[in-house]
Structure 1
């Protein structure tokens, strides 16, 4: 019986990776590509892509794609294919054919045969994406030298036109090189839109030479808390902006990778940095500071003709720098208090014959939207622009769930789905103790993969208005570039498949299989994608006779968990986890990791098994009493090096250690930190709970059997107030037996600083 070589290679690879059910995983091994192509037809044999392979490209556009492919192969496999103008055997041929019968400019076909490969597209975007698919196929094994690719025919085109990421650089600034690194990964996942959030209350990041104070003043803030002070107590500004030359560089770099850059200048709210620079733009005429706070601010642009002209002049520069069809004008979270209280604004409202401030915002946005339209551009706004009636040609970006998208599409507006919390990547992606800072609850990889961009409430005629979807990287709590990268990927890879691959073709288990080689590509590119989906959770519990029962697991349940107890990192030959481990509590280091075949899926996680680790809980492992506005925040006291991460409910900092085993416990040790209360909460400020200080300096109170139970420990805060750094508070604990909930609250008399728990340890 004749066996096709391509399928034989697939089955061999699956056996190598330890896949139990070969039939179910055939395609993910044949085509280990993200996003999964629209159609794949297996062929016979395999193509050996080696140092003698030529890349044949005719015309400058094809040659540019060829040079990019050759460069990527060189960095991945260790050899650089030569470019040629004539074909033959052992060649990769790139063909731009404007008459090719393909679905669009981003579509392509990729034919892989034993004698070579051909990418065909009708436009350079499709040719680029076909070459990216070939590169992923050629790097699936993560090895150097010759790549063997199973024969197959791929016919591919995107499901949606808008496949995006939003990067907020107003809260935390990212350098040009850092933005380019994100664009690189977007392009390699066929994401095609970078929404660049360039201005907000906390910073103005785009140079406008006509208005230099926008960056001179608006580009700097004094951070709240210890981060805003030098060691001698002097202010420590946080500054950053892009020159126009740098913006042109980023836009050109993105265009070469077929990523459109959509700029956002947020208005009429999120304007505090601009008003700090030019107070006449505001309602009150006063100059606020550039905000060091997160949340909903109340500073608005006024509605005078002079302010409209100012913003039109800014948009002139924006349109010159960004060739994108779309310009985002914000429109979100416009608290109308200042407009309501201003006689001048109210007079303007009446003169325009408008009913209320919502209609005034619609008029304001409409004036600027019409200005864009007159210059051949198209306005995008957050879904609040629907409230007073959006400009006729506005595209609506739905962030408050999906209802805005439904309403806008029914009214005939194009829409982009970017709903919170589904696609808000400032949410943490696991509840592991080493997770990055961000919002809770958890938005994990699987939930992103399960997102459906087309609301089921829309009719077929209305669905055509859904341009696509994007994830939003708000950076209040993503201070470093590593954290931005970890927050973005692999969840952006899941979104790439959601927005590219036909819905019936998506398969979660197949996606996990294809993530293993993708993780190797990220590591090779020094890109810090998160491993939260595969990282091993080590959960110990006391057991009889001085031992511990340890459960190992990971978020996805994917891979084989292997472990060691001698302090060395696990390898593919280490013991496989099959059930709870019974281990002696003897200061040994338990280390674990998940593997797919011989590939580690994450960084190893470790826990030293001792008496303390069995009864200690970090703040991530404690339960928030109410779960209001719960954030994972960093201690801002260290100026350099690592910072502790603490989880707290901003409205009510209160924690519960559930079912604490109090047998033999006589002492309580709590590590605490003080964070700046830098939150603008508008009307939600009434939800903030403060507790009267029961002693000078305040105290941490511990109650048993819930927060209404009796106080069993009081730990004074006065010693901790002497330092910005973390402090350890100790107190004796009366003898108790059995399991009880312990409730921890700070009775400090004020919301600022926000006292937070880093770790609670119950000790003998």
Structure 2
């Protein structure tokens, strides 16, 4: 074949691939039209608005001077006098939308313990609360409002129902700023002031994963109420994943008949009465979806659904195997992590996705649809002859480009339905349509890159805004993901990176906190994870950056906790509790106790067993006490305890034991720390363990081995229910020398001398736990490293407690 013939052949192949690519992309049900209109850009209206903010906040010289407002308003000007709100206070509204907001205010107030108020259209303004929509209201944002409080009445004015609603939320906060827990009462004093307010960002979001664990419609509504009262306005609803398909699609009933049920790993998936599989099921009917969307809209919250493609697709493929890439039968998985099951690239699968989206866009009237795009491991595509042939037909260079082509086609399809596509930042790894929006979760670099390329961006980095991460080091934290993201760390996050050029900063639409629910079985745990960290997210999204102040936010936070209690929100107590650590000096018969509060509120304590109050000693330095010792402590703000006082008792025996929470991970070895729950019982509370899943290892630093004969170790066993795709080889195992491995104890760290090796049995005891004693012959203070050798998957041993066993005194030996 001549060179010319070879070139002509290449040209024909290129044209064929190009034509096939265009046919594949063009297969949409509706004509592709330009996305236009105010609705399409409504969420992008604010961007970084510091340059045009109304003003700066100011202090108010009145009881609860600024109402402890969260988020802090853009401008607050104090005035003279006080407005007295009571059950006799009339609510006046000028029209239908304003009357709706007035009634919402009355409902919020009554739900939080305030008086019942009646709303009316028109009437005298003196002594009343007046809600009004002014067509001539001059503001850059539809969410802007003004609020005037004076001795003769309150006036809330906005140009749009959304702004009026947020003004009502601010007034509700002013009316619920009373100190104490007795409720707001029937007579409420509100300091006179003028507030001119508008949000910094147009996207102030929260994502809830309903795929891993399912929440009832009532819990969703409760969360939407809480979002509204924090002035959050985007509810990102994660409805499809490997573990479950949670939205009814009438054209494909198996998505919920099959895909909405999984079998949990271990004992949690076994009926204790019959031994049969026990399925975990749940989905939202289309009627329930409409109910939730309407409920959110009444609170000026846009609900954005997510259909995850091409990965996180196991539940869908289990329902319709022809959507997958392998012939292996699948079920919705009962494990966590990253799975390699992908939608295939064939035309029928794209039609399926478009058909699903056709039903979804009818249910969700908001401008955006999220298509996922994250963690799509391409192993199956690489191994599939059909996928590879299809890629060659389309002229696609690699698997990431193939994913990009899927995204491009869905973007055109959604544009044809007047919707905008948004996806996780992996969609940047291929050519991306200009109108696509990027949600940056792997740090902020993806957001910076997207903005520089002209894409709108929502900042949602896992390092700062993932609320399934633990929020303190307390042993009272529920199960959660690795590391810790404290309230102050959430508050410190800045959505507009300094590295981003000024001309591109308007592409930052705002920020979003994400709540993944692998480890969140109960609503109370969910609310623990969200609050009060969601309040910190809300302030970053609303308040001008120059006016944010952590110490001021921390001052206002205790009043926000009172609002949570009145609304029945199970917020996290752990940031407001006291933590205690002890350094023993057994030979001297003393203990040195250090107290701390995660948010640095002042600590008051007693050593005589009494309950500390505002007049108790303030903790300022470690306490050295004779054994036995007892300390009762609580964190305080404005003379009030922020959580129940805690008692810490120490004696010679307690100083010889540590729980898994009190141990540390082995340096440079125990990566990816998780706080995991046992797999049983099916109902009720379960044991919780801190464990590093790549290399299970625990370390007791500076353990005093003088006079110690042995180490007693209590272990549990749980399923190793993680799939980590390409990270799986990072899991390390110490080689086993006996049938079931050994309990290994090293001194001087994990690379130090082997102090003990005890063979493991095949099974734990009937209660699921096992206690072993390892003789020790060592002295002095050493870092004890504790491991179990051998690859025990599909289960893993986890440490519950360790105890140093003292040598028997010579007179006690037999």
TM range, smaller chain: over 0.9
2 CA distance for matches of 1:468 and 1:8?
33
Aligned partners of 1:322 and 1:606: how far apart in 2?
Answer: 50
Paired residues of 1:671 and 1:726 also in contact (CA < 8 A) = yes
Alpha-carbon displacement from aligned partner over 1:529-567 (angstroms, at most 9, x marks no partner): 113332211122224643322121111212x31234566
Determine the C-alpha separation between the residues in 1 that align with 2:345 and 2:83. 64
Alpha-carbon shift at residue 573 of structure 1 (Å): 4.7
| 1:694-729: CA deviation from partner (whole Å, max 9, x where unpaired) | 334333211111112233233443175244623333
> Could you tell me whether the CA contact under 8 Å between 1:663 and 1:737 is conserved in 2?
yes
Question: Bigger relative contact order, structure 1 or 2, given CA contacts below 8 A and separation 6+?
Answer: 2
**SS of structure 2 residue aligned to 1:693:** coil
**Alignment check: 8 A CA contact 2:744 2:787 kept:** yes
Q: What CA distance in whole angstroms lies between the structure 2 residues aligned with 1:727 and 1:286?
A: 37
Which residue does the alignment assign to 1:26? none
State how far apart, in whole Å, the 2-side matches of 1:133 and 1:663 are.
Answer: 61
Per-residue deviation, residues 19-57 of structure 1 (Å, max 9, x unmatched) = xxxxxxxxxx42410000001111111111122211111
Counterpart of 1:464 in 2: which secondary structure? Answer: helix
**CA-to-partner distance for each residue in 1:56-87, whole Å, 9 max, x for gaps?**
11222111111111122223344112212313
8 Å Cα contact 1:271-1:300 kept in structure 2: yes
Deviation at 1:630, TM superposition (A): 1.4
SS at match of 2:287: helix
- Alignment check: 8 A CA contact 2:718 2:798 kept: yes
Contact 2:92 2:125 survives alignment (8 Å): no
Check if 1:181 corresponds to 2:198: no
1:574 Cα deviation (Å)? 4.2
Residues 470 and 483 in structure 2, CA contact (< 8 A), matched pair in contact too:
yes
Who is 1:105 aligned against?
142
Contact preservation (8 Å) 2:99, 2:120: no
Contact 1:267–1:330 (CA under 8 A) maintained in structure 2 = yes
Residues 562 and 576 in structure 1, CA contact (< 8 A), matched pair in contact too:
yes
What's the offset of the Cα at 1:122? Answer: 0.7
Instruction: Rate the CA distance shift 1:570–1:763 in 2: closer, same or farther, 3 A.
Output: farther
User: What is aligned with 1:667?
Assistant: 710
> Which moves more between the two structures, 174-183 or 717-726?
717-726
Match of 2:7 in 1: none
What's the Cα RMSD here?
1.8
User: Does 2:688 correspond to 1:634?
Assistant: no
Which of 604, 618, 626 in structure 2 is aligned with 1:576? 618
* Change in 2 beyond 3 A, CA 1:341/1:731: closer
Equivalent in the alignment of 2:118: 82
Structure 2 counterpart of 1:157: 198
d(CA) in 2 for partners of 1:55 and 1:336? 60
2:352 corresponds to which residue? 310
Which SS does the other structure have where 1:266 is aligned? strand
Paired position in structure 2 for 1:366: 408
Indicate the residue corresponding to 1:46 in structure 2: 82
Once structures 1 and 2 are overlaid, which stretch shifts more, 90-99 or 715-724? 715-724
Partner of residue 146, structure 1:
187
Question: Partner of 1:218 in structure 2?
Answer: 259
Q: What secondary structure is seen at the aligned counterpart in 1 of 2:174?
A: helix
Are positions 1:122 and 2:163 aligned together? no
8 Å CA contact retained: 2:716, 2:764 = no
* Aligned-pair CA distance for 1:8: 4.9
CA distance in 2, matches of 1:685, 1:481: 31
The aligned runs of 1:128-527 (5 Å cut-off) are 128-142=165-179, 143-231=184-272, 232-527=274-569
How is 1:685-696 mapped onto 2 (pairs within 5 angstroms)?
Answer: 685-696=728-739
**Residue 628 (structure 1) shift:** 1.6
| Displacement after TM superposition at 1:609 (Å) | 2.1
1:727 pairs with 2:770: yes
Query: Structure 1 residues 570 and 217, CA, compared in 2 at 3 Å: closer, same or farther?
Result: farther
Taking the aligned partners of 2:593 and 2:568, their CA distance within structure 1 comes to 33
Could you tell which deviates more after superposition, 511-520 or 603-612? 603-612
1:384 to 1:761, Cα distance in 2 relative to 1, 3 A: same
Gaps of 5+ in 1: 1-5, 14-28
* Worse overlay, 31-40 or 142-151: 142-151
Deviation digits for residues 484-543 of structure 1, max 9, x if unmatched? 111111111111111110000000000001100001111121211113332211122224
Give the Cα separation in 1 of the matches to 2:793 and 2:697: 12
SS in 1 for 2:712: strand
Q: Which runs of 5+ in 2 are unaligned?
A: 1-58, 807-814
Find the aligned partners of 2:767 and 2:322 in 1 and give their Cα distance: 38
Question: Which has the higher Rg, Structure 1 or Structure 2?
Answer: 2
For the residues of structure 2 that align with 1:567 and 1:697, how far apart are their CA atoms? 48
Query: What's the CA shift for 1:604?
Result: 3.1
The answer to whether the 8 Å contact 2:71/2:538 transfers is yes
Alpha-carbon shift at residue 273 of structure 1 (Å): 0.5
Residue-by-residue CA offset, 1:648-689 (whole Å, 9 max, x unaligned): 111100111111122333332222111211111112111111
Matched, 1:706 2:706: no
Alignment partner, residue 605 of structure 1: 646
**Cα distance in structure 1, aligned partners of 2:202 and 2:157:** 20
Instruction: Please state whether the residue corresponding to 1:516 is helix, strand or coil.
Output: helix
Q: Does 1:737 align with 2:779?
A: yes
Partner Cα separation in structure 2 for residue 689 and residue 551 of structure 1? 35
Contact 2:448–2:500 under 8 Å retained in 1: yes
1:426 and 1:49 mapped to 2: Cα distance? Answer: 39
Which moved further from structure 2: 444-453 or 677-686?
Answer: 677-686
Residues 424-471 of structure 1 show CA distances to partners (whole Å, capped at 9, x for unaligned) of 112111111111221222111111111010122222221111110101
Supply the distance in 2 between the matched residues of 1:610 and 1:641 (Cα, whole angstroms): 32
Partner of 1:55 in structure 2?
91
- Looking at structure 2, the residues matched to 87 and 694 of structure 1 have their Cα atoms a distance apart, in angstroms, of 88
TM-score with structure 2 length normalisation?
Answer: 0.88
Q: Tell me: CA distance 1:726–1:562, structure 2 relative to 1, closer, same or farther (3 Å).
A: farther
Q: How many Å separate the matches in 2 of 1:317 and 1:329?
A: 14
Give 1:288 shift.
1.1
Partner of residue 650 from structure 1, selected from 684, 690, 693: 693
Bigger drift between 560-569 and 148-157 goes to 560-569
> Could you tell me how far apart the structure 2 residues matched to 1:327 and 1:402 are?
21
Please name the residue that 1:19 is paired with.
Answer: none
More displaced 10-residue stretch of structure 1: 479-488 or 605-614: 605-614
Note if 1:552 corresponds to 2:595: yes
